[in-house]
Amino acid sequence: MNVARRQAVTLALARPPRPAGPDWWQALQERAWNRYQAVGLPGPRLDDWKYADTHPLTQVDLRLPSGDVAPMDAAQVAMEGVEGPLVVLVDGVFHPGLSRLDELPDGMTVSPLETALGSGGGGVERVGALAELDRDDAGLRALNLALASTGVVVELAPDCRPSAPLSLVHLVTEAGLAPQWRHVLRLGEGAVLTLLERYQGLGTHWHNTVVEAEVEAGAELNHIRLAEGDESAFLTHESWVTVAAGGRYLGAGAAHGHRLARLFGSVSLDAPEARAAWYGVYGGTGRHQADHTTHTHHRAPRTESVQLFKGVLGEGARGAYTGRVVVHTGAQKIRAEQKNANLLLSRNAEADARPQLEIYADDVQCAHGATVGELDADALFYLRARGIAEADARALLTRAFIEDVLVAFPLEAAARWVRERLGQGGGT
């Protein structure tokens, strides 16, 4: 056995000298830290990480945030067309001045992680309940828990249905920072929430986020993640979701420009009629790598899942989709669909697709499809013959290609955000 290669690779991020929070929290962080030391960063030896290279992350200088609140103004965090409660998280800390939490609807609570830890209750004790640490690929979520910067604890009472989305804006204003965001949500029976997460940053930085969400019977969570970065930016994001009877989870995500952006989601459909939907768009140009990985567990009869992911890959970009659907023993009458399509716009682009099915029941209808190709030459010719310039024709076709994913995005402002960045027909 090649021992050297299997040794855990860890980053030079140290635990803060003075731990804070209640005893159970410190014990949990201690356990997570030990786990991180044992397994290290996930790497190519793990099948799920075959197409997401964490090596560049070890080649840059990163440090944990110091806890100072950077000066910001409201214009920097606004997103056109998005109203409603807002949580602004800057350089690893909660920014009370810019956050808008004073007019929450009845039945909805949103607390910063440290506040929730101080006061206890409110669901904070469920941190770590879903994002399990036992598997070999637990390195990032273990690190995230051990060094958690901040995050929010969100609870919705039964049938609480706020009309506007809850926005979480994550920013890094100083190069070299590696904030570790930890969010935990619970939606009571029949509650409906749209959660919009946005990520931005300056210079070399790394957002590492873990979201744990419980969706109770009949509740619906629409979960959107939009991230923008450049060739020195890293983003790793994990969502761990359980859905009870008749509940619904919709995960929509898009990342643009990062050196590495990996959006991982695991959803467990635990009771009959639970549903899950995953939508994603990825792509870009330059040394950009995007990886969408989903695990969908059908653990109960009559559960359904759909997935639609599209990649638009220009010069030098690399996009990967790995979707694993597991139909567990006894989960009959299942429907599961996966579709992944990729447009390669340049010679130096790469698309990797792995739509996977693992089925331990027999009364199922599961299908998956994956395609990779370039823009249709006939369609391009058609448009050009009608006087449309080549660049415009390419943009039009590219936009049309991603549009059927975007119509499924639960927030028009989010769809527009993606369209503006990825619907341009970039590449050469």
Partner 1 sequence: MSKPKEDPLDQLVNREYSAGFVTDIEEESLPPGLDEDVIRFISAKKGEPDWLLEWRLEAFREWQKMVEPHWAHVHYPPIDYQAISYWAAPKRPEDRPQSLDEVDPELLETFEKLGIPLHERAALAGVAVDAVFDSVSVATTFKDKLAEHGIIFCPLSEAVREHPDLVRKYLGKVVPPRDNFFAALNSAVFSEGSFVYIPKGVRCPMELSTYFRINAAATGQFERTLIIADEDSYVSYLEGCTAPMRDENQLHAAVVELVAERRAHIKYSTVQNWYPGDEEGRGGIYNFVTKRGLCKGDHSKISWTQVETGSVITWKYPSCILRGDHSVGEFYSVAISNLKQQADTGTKMVHIGKHTTSTIISKGISAGRGSNAYRGLVKVMDTAEGARNFTQCDSLLMGDRCSAHTFPYIEVRNPSAQVEHEATTSKISEDQLFYCRARGLDAEEAVSLIVNGFCKEVINELPMEFAVEAQKLLGVSLEGAVG
Question: Footprint of partner 1 on this chain (CB under 8 A)?
Answer: 1-2, 47, 50, 329-330, 332-333, 342, 344-374
Closest CB 374 distance from partner 1, rounded Å: 4
Tell me whether residue 178 or residue 343 sits nearer to partner 1 (CB atom).
Answer: 343
The 10 Å CB-count burial string (b at 16+, else e) for 327-341 is bbeebeebebbbbbb
DSSP 8-state symbol, 355? E
Closest CB 340 distance from partner 1, rounded Å: 8
Tell me whether residue 125 or residue 350 sits nearer to partner 1 (CB atom).
Answer: 350
8 Å CB contact between 248 and 254: no
Tell me whether residue 226 or residue 345 sits nearer to partner 1 (CB atom).
Answer: 345
Tell me whether residue 24 or residue 381 sits nearer to partner 1 (CB atom).
Answer: 381
Closest CB 34 distance from partner 1, rounded Å: 25
Which residues lie below 8 Å from residue 1, measured CB to CB, with a gap of 6+? none
Closest CB 370 distance from partner 1, rounded Å: 4
Tell me whether residue 199 or residue 321 sits nearer to partner 1 (CB atom).
Answer: 321
Provide the strand spans (E) within 285-349: 289-298, 304-313, 318-327, 334-344
Tell me whether residue 331 or residue 406 sits nearer to partner 1 (CB atom).
Answer: 331
Please tell me whether residue 336 adopts helix, strand or coil conformation: strand
Tell me whether residue 326 or residue 388 sits nearer to partner 1 (CB atom).
Answer: 326
**What is the rounded radius of gyration, in angstroms, for the C-alpha atoms of the chain?**
21
What whole-number distance in Å separates Cα of residue 375 and Cα of residue 355? Answer: 22
What H or E segment, with its residue span, contains residue 155? strand 152-156
Closest CB 332 distance from partner 1, rounded Å: 6
- Please choose, from the candidates 48, 61, 17, the residue with its C-alpha nearest in 3D space to the C-alpha of residue 176: 61
Closest CB 257 distance from partner 1, rounded Å: 20
Tell me whether residue 20 or residue 367 sits nearer to partner 1 (CB atom).
Answer: 367
Closest CB 330 distance from partner 1, rounded Å: 8
**What DSSP letter does each residue of 156-222 carry, written as one string?**
E-TT---SSPEEEEEEE-STTB--EEEEEEEE-TT-EEEEEEEEEESSSEEEEEEEEEEE-TT-EEE
- Looking at the DSSP bridge assignments, the partners of residue 17 are none
Closest CB 196 distance from partner 1, rounded Å: 31
- Please choose, from the candidates 141, 177, 150, the residue with its C-alpha nearest in 3D space to the C-alpha of residue 13: 177
Residue recorded with tokens 């995050």: 151
